[in-house]
Amino acid sequence: MFEFLKKKEKKFDSKVLRKNDISLLILDERWNSLFNTVQRTPEILKAEEELKELLKQQARISTEAKEISVLKKNCMDKILQLTTEVFDNGNEGAKKEMQECEKEIKRINERLANIEEELDEIPGNIKEANLKLLENTVNIVYFKIRRNQKRVNELEKLIEAEREKLKAYIDEKESLAQDDTDIYSYFHDLLGADELEKLDRQYIR
């Protein structure tokens, strides 16, 4: 089925979709329910996995940013605590410890700058991955719609044919019933009720 779908699928202008606020498909119950009766294609599975990975990445680096910000604050607090020992008392051990804290803060600042860049890029990447997933979904779902419409047309023809047959059966039944009524009425008038009762017992009952 998927090979046939590749031949049939058509590209559509994703710029139209970009104008809309498309929800995250993998979190959308209605999107997930589309696949109760439709198999996910390899393209959909791949696009879905890419979107999940981006969301995991976003959550992971956001958590990292919070954690190293706490470490940075601890280092800054430590430097303040060491200030007196270093500058007033000339404590070399405290000075070395302060330098280590300063190096750690520099390292953290560099990482925070990188994280900020990543966090700026990820929403756009998530949107692109979401649109890609939507495009693949549209292709397979509209293939199903076309297939369903074809079957609906076939069923409509079958229903119409059966409706004609049913109408013929009803007409035949009504005609036979009317014949019986006319015959019964004639013999009732001709022979009377008593004789008709005898004929009923003899031929019908």
Asked whether residue 34 is assigned to any structural domain, the reply reads yes
Same domain, 17 and 41: yes
Domain limits at 194?
174-204
User: Mapping DSSP to helix (H, G, I), strand (E, B) and coil, where does residue 12 land?
Assistant: coil
Average pLDDT for 184-194? 82
Indicate whether 56 pLDDT > 90: yes
Tokens of 150: 């074809």
Asked whether residue 169 is assigned to any structural domain, the reply reads no
CA distance 49 to 65: 24
Indicate whether 2 pLDDT > 50: no
Find the length of the chain: 205
Same domain, 46 and 90: yes
Cβ-based neighbours of 199, under 8 Å, separated by 6 or more: 187, 191
Residue 197's pLDDT band (boundaries 50, 70, 90)?
A: confident
Distance between start and end Cα atoms, the chain: 61
Same domain, 29 and 90: yes
Asked whether residue 167 is assigned to any structural domain, the reply reads no
Same domain, 24 and 121: yes
What percentage of residues in the chain have a pLDDT greater than 90? 53
Tokens of 32: 């997930």
Q: CB-side exposure of 62: number of CA atoms within 13 Å?
A: 11
Please tell me the predicted confidence (pLDDT) of residue 104: 94
Same domain, 136 and 188: no
Q: What share of the chain is helix, strand, coil (3-state, %, to 5)?
A: 90, 0, 10
Tokens of 52: 């999940």
Q: Higher pLDDT residue, 93 or 166?
A: 166
Indicate whether 16 pLDDT > 60: no
Q: Higher pLDDT residue, 84 or 157?
A: 157
Asked whether residue 168 is assigned to any structural domain, the reply reads no
Same domain, 83 and 106: yes
Read off the amino acid at residue 37.
T
Asked whether residue 123 is assigned to any structural domain, the reply reads yes
Asked whether residue 133 is assigned to any structural domain, the reply reads yes
Average pLDDT for 4-32? 68
Cβ-based neighbours of 159, under 8 Å, separated by 6 or more: none
Please tell me the predicted confidence (pLDDT) of residue 50: 96
Same domain, 60 and 100: yes
CA distance 26 to 20: 17
Mean pLDDT of the chain: 86
Same domain, 45 and 130: yes
Asked whether residue 180 is assigned to any structural domain, the reply reads yes
- Count of Cβ atoms closer than 10 Å to residue 86 Cβ: 18
The 10s digit of each residue's pLDDT in 169-179 is 999 999 999 99
Same domain, 108 and 179: no
Q: How many domains does the chain have?
A: 2
Same domain, 62 and 147: yes
Asked whether residue 94 is assigned to any structural domain, the reply reads yes
Same domain, 66 and 126: yes
The 10s digit of each residue's pLDDT in 88-134 is 777 888 888 889 999 999 999 999 999 999 999 999 999 999 999 99
Same domain, 35 and 135: yes
CB 62 within 8 A of CB 120: no
